[in-house]
A = this chain, B = another copy of it.
Amino acid sequence: MVNEKMRGLGAHRSVIRELFEYGKKRKAEIGAENVFDFSLGNPSVPAPDGVNKALSRLLEERDAVSLHGYTSAQGDAGVRRAIADYIAKTQGVEMNADLIYLTVGAAASLTISLSAVLNEGDEVILLAPFFPEYRVFAERTGAKVVPVLCDPKSFQPDLAAVEAAITERTRAIIVNSPNNPTGAVMTPESARGLADLLAKKEKEYGNAIWLIADEPYRELVYGDATVPYLPALYDNTLVCYSFSKSLSLPGERIGYIAVSPKAEEASAVYAAICGAGRALGFVCAPALFQYMIPEVLGMTADISVYDTNRRLLYNALTEYGYEAVYPDGAFYLFVKALEPDANAFCERAKGEELLLVPSDSFGCPGYVRISYCVTTEQIERSLPAFKRLAESYQKA
Contacts and interface: CB of A to CB of B under 8 A. Distances in A.
Interface string A34-53: 00000010111111000110
Q: How large is the interface on A (under 10, 10 to 19, 20 to 34, 35 or more residues)?
A: 35 or more
Interface in A49-87: 51-52, 55-56, 59-60, 63-65, 67-73
A237 to B, nearest CB: 14
Interface stretch (A181-189, A275-283, A326-334, A361-369): A275-283
A161 interface: no
A338 interface: no
State the majority secondary structure of interface residues on A: helix
A70 B279 contact: no
Contacts of A282: 104, 107-108
Contact of A251 (B70, B110, B248): B70
A263 to B, nearest CB: 10
Interface in A77-131: 104-105, 107-112, 115-119
Given A6-B275, A9-B275, A251 B69 contact: yes
A5 interface: yes
Contacts of A279: 5-6, 9, 111, 136-137, 140
Contacts of A212: none
A283 B105 contact: yes
A7 B252 contact: no
Contacts of A251: 67-71, 284, 286-288, 290
Interface stretch (A144-152, A266-274, A343-351, A379-387): A266-274
A341 interface: no
- Copies of this chain, complex-wide, total 2
Contact of A17 (B7, B8, B44, B73): B73
A133 interface: yes
A374 to B, nearest CB: 11
A394 interface: no
Contacts of A104: 104, 253, 281-283, 286
Contacts of A2: 116-117, 265, 268-269, 272
Q: Give 8 closest A-B pairs by Cβ, nearest first.
A: A251-B287, A10-B275, A9-B275, A111-B281, A10-B274, A10-B271, A6-B275, A46-B64
Interface of A: 1-3, 5-11, 13-14, 17, 20-21, 40, 42-47, 51-52, 55-56, 59-60, 63-65, 67-73, 104-105, 107-112, 115-119, 133, 136-137, 140-141, 208, 248-253, 264-265, 268-290
Given A9-B279, A47-B68, A105-B283, 11 more contacts: A3-B118, A6-B275, A11-B268, A13-B274, A52-B60, A68-B250, A69-B251, A70-B251, A107-B283, A253-B286, A280-B280
21 contacts: A2-B272, A3-B116, A7-B271, A10-B274, A13-B73, A13-B274, A13-B278, A17-B73, A20-B70, A42-B70, A43-B65, A70-B250, A70-B251, A108-B281, A111-B280, A136-B278, A137-B281, A252-B287, A252-B288, A253-B284, A280-B280
